[in-house]
Amino acid sequence: MATSEVQTVNSAGDKIRLALVGVLVLASFVAYYFLAAQDAWVQWAGLLVGLVAALVLYFTSESGRQLVAFGREAVRETKKVVWPERKEALQVTLYVFAFVVVMALFLWLTDKTLEWVFYDLILGWKK
C-alpha cells in the first residue's frame, strides 16, 4: 500500500534559498528585457547566467536534493523493468489495433441502428 507524503520546506535557510531562486529567475527575465538595447548575445547571456545561478542555488536546497534523489531512484527502478521482446510487443500492438477496429464497428453499428430507430421508425423523418 503506497502512502503519499506532503513534502514541506522546514528550515529557514531552505525558505530563504527558495525565495532567492524565485528572485533570481525574475531578475534574469528583467535583465533580458532591460538589455534589449545591447547585442543579442549580451541579452541572452544575462538571461542564462541568472537562470543557471537560480538552478545552482535550487539544487543546493533540500528540495533540490530531494529532486535529484528522486531522479536517481527513478532511473534505478527503470533499469529493473523487464521489457517485452519484439514478438510480444508486436502481438500486443496487433491485439490493440484489432480491438479498436471491433469497437469502431460496434459503435458505428449502434449509432446507425439508433439513428434508424429514432429518425425513421419513431419520428418518421425520412432522409
pLDDT tens digits, one per residue of 77-103: 999 999 899 999 999 999 999 999 999
Contact between 21 and 54 under an 8 Å Cβ cutoff? The reply is yes
Going by pLDDT thresholds of 50, 70 and 90, the confidence category of residue 38 is confident
d(CA 26, CA 20): 10
Q: What is the pLDDT of residues 40-69, one digit of tens each?
A: 999 999 999 999 999 999 999 999 999 999
3-state SS, 97-110, equals HHHHHHHHHHHHHH
Complete DSSP assignment for 28-67: HHHHHHHGGGS-HHHHHHHHHHHHHHHHHHHHTSHHHHHH
Q: What's the average model confidence in pLDDT over 34-42?
A: 90
